[in-house]
Amino acid sequence: MKKLLASDYDNTLKNQGVVSKEDMKAIEKWRENGNLFVVVTGRFEKPEELLIPIDACICCSGNKVVLDDRNEYVYFGSNAELAGLAKECVKHESTDNVFNICTPNGNFRFDFADLVKKNYSQLIDIPEFLQVSLLFDNDVDCEKVCESIRENVDGLNVLQNGRCVDILPQKMNKAVGICDFADKRGIDEKNIITVGDAMNDYDMLKAYNGYVIEHGHPELIRAIGQTTKSVAQLISVYNKK
């Protein structure tokens, strides 16, 4: 029975800037045995940029599936939600002052000051979005702004990861993206395994046979209850089943 292993990227598969040789070899063997391996990330990545053997990159926190020949999308946020989010974000000076937007038509970066100066007119030509990402000076400032967005802007899912935050349409998270990918390929949910390290991985780990990397967030380890030393070790366990 074909299995799907979905792994977070930063600090799960990629540690200290590299993917280990052990993980690379294990992934190759996993795929040779007829299984699928995908990376699930908050980044706006293209599969070839990851430099690892994968079947797809589920990026934008699950909302965009990048394949060799096409892209697949799950949910779209509206222009009204985007504008409301931008107006809330510019109230806070603790960000890097750049509004990063992923859309089906490409990625856009806007300076906060320029957005205000031009009365948000740059957003008019963006009818829908997949994800907005922001970077803050520190975790505490990030958490404060996340709470502000949740309180004042409807229709969004706000996912904090340290001093970074990814903002998606309300129904969207990594678990939803994995579910959509698996359904289209006829993979039963009992044959989906997930691995991650941070609280923005919680939804996918809770939904699908989740494991936390041993150096992962303590709160996530407590919530999920299963750990693994590495992706290679996890693959070794499931190759024996």
Which residues face 136 on adjacent strands? Answer: 95
Q: What is the pLDDT of residues 114-150, one digit of tens each?
A: 888 888 899 999 999 999 999 888 888 889 989 999 9
Q: What is the DSSP string of 82-122?
A: HHHHHHHHTT-SSB-SEEEEEETTEEEEEEHHHHHHTTTGG
**Amino acid in position 100:** N
**Residue range(s) occupied by CATH 3.30.1240.10 in the chain:** 77-169
Residue reference for tokens 């829908």: 128
Asked if residues 158 and 151 have their Cβ atoms less than 8 Å apart, the reply is no
* Beta-sheet pairing, 192-196 with 4-7: parallel
Local confidence pLDDT in tens for the 241 residues of the chain: 899 999 999 999 999 889 999 999 999 999 999 999 999 999 876 666 777 889 999 999 999 998 877 889 999 999 999 999 999 988 876 656 788 999 999 899 998 888 888 888 999 999 999 999 998 888 888 899 899 999 999 999 999 988 889 999 998 999 999 999 999 999 999 999 999 999 999 999 999 999 999 999 999 999 999 999 999 999 999 987 7
| pLDDT recorded at residue 90 | 84
Torsion-angle region of residue 82: left (phi > 0), alpha (psi -120 to 50) or beta? Answer: alpha
**Could you give the residue range(s) of every CATH 3.40.50.1000 domain in the chain?**
4-73+173-239
Q: What is the CATH number of domain 4-73+173-239?
A: 3.40.50.1000
Task: Answer for the pair 129, 38: CB distance below 8 angstroms, yes or no.
Answer: no
Task: Look at the domain 77-169 and name its fold.
Answer: 3.30.1240
DSSP run (H or E) holding 175: helix 174-184
Q: CA triplet 26, 20, 48: central angle to 5 degrees?
A: 80
Q: What is the pTM of this model?
A: 0.90
Distance CA 234, CA 99 (A): 37
Which has the closest alpha carbon to 167: 96, 102, 97? 102
* 149 neighbors 133 (Cβ within 8 angstroms): no
Q: How many angstroms separate the CA atoms of 101 and 185, rounded?
A: 29
β strands within 104-232, DSSP E: 106-111, 128-129, 131-135, 156-161, 164-169, 192-196, 210-213, 227-228
Query: Which helix (H) or strand (E) covers residue 39, if one does?
Result: strand 36-40
Nearest to 149 by CA among 98, 68, 91: 91
For residue 48, the model assigns a pLDDT of: 65
